[in-house]
Amino acid sequence: MTAAAEGVAKSVDFYVLGSTDAKERLRLACRLVEKAYLSSAHVLVCSDDAGELSAFDELLWTFADRSFVPHEPYREVEQWQEVPVLLSGPSDPAPGGSFDVLLNLGTAVPACAPQADRILEIIDADETRRQAGRARFRSYRERGLAPQTHHIGGEPAA
C-alpha cells in the first residue's frame, strides 16, 4: 500500500527552469518520469492541455536515444497492473486508487493529488505558468504540505 493510501504526508517538489522554452519544460518532465519509472514507481502525468499532453506523449518516446518509458493514455485503474506510466488529459476520467508519483503539467492542482505519494511540478519562466505555479505552491502549503523548490539550469528566476 502506498503512503498516500495510508494517509502519510506526501512530498511536493517544484522544479524551476529559467527558460520559457516549452520543449525544455517537457524534456525535464521526460527525465523526471524516466527516473521515477526506473525506480519502479507508478506515475500519472496530468495536463489540462490536450495539445501539450500529446506533445509530451510524443517526446516521451524520443527524448533520449537509449531511453524507453512504457506509457499510454489513462482509461482505467486496472492499467497500473501492466503500464507504469499513464497520461491523463482534461477529458479523462478521474484516476482511481493510489499511485506513487503525480507529475502535474496542468495549471491547477489536480483533484487526484491526494492519491499520490509524491507530486512533481515543473515551472518555467513563462509568466502565466509562473503565476499558476505560485498559486499551486500556496495551495499545497494550505493543505499542510511543505513544497521543496529545485532551481534547474542556472540562475533562479524571479
- pLDDT tens readout for residues 111-129: 889 989 999 999 999 999 9
pLDDT band at residue 33 using 50, 70 and 90 as cut-offs: very high
**Is 78 inside any structural domain?**
yes
Mean pLDDT of the chain: 87
1: pLDDT strictly greater than 80: no
Whole-angstrom Cα Rg for the chain: 15
CATH number at residue 107: 3.40.50.10110
On whether residue 31 sits in a domain, the answer given is yes
- Across residues 68-81, what is the average pLDDT? 86
**In-domain check, residue 158:** no
Residue reference for cell 525535464: 28
CA nearest 136: which of 118, 110, 97?
A: 110
Domain annotation covers residue 3: no
Residues whose CB falls within 8 Å of the CB of residue 150, separated by 6 or more in sequence, listed in order: 13, 14, 15, 16
Per-residue pLDDT at 153: 77
Structurally, the chain folds into a number of domains equal to 1
Q: Over 60: is that where the pLDDT of 6 sits?
A: no
29, 47, 74, 122 from 15: Cα distances, Å: 9, 16, 24, 5
Query: Is 2 a member of any domain?
Result: no
151 band by pLDDT with thresholds 50, 70 and 90: very high
Residue with cell 523548490: 149
Is residue 97, in this structure, part of any structural domain at all?
yes
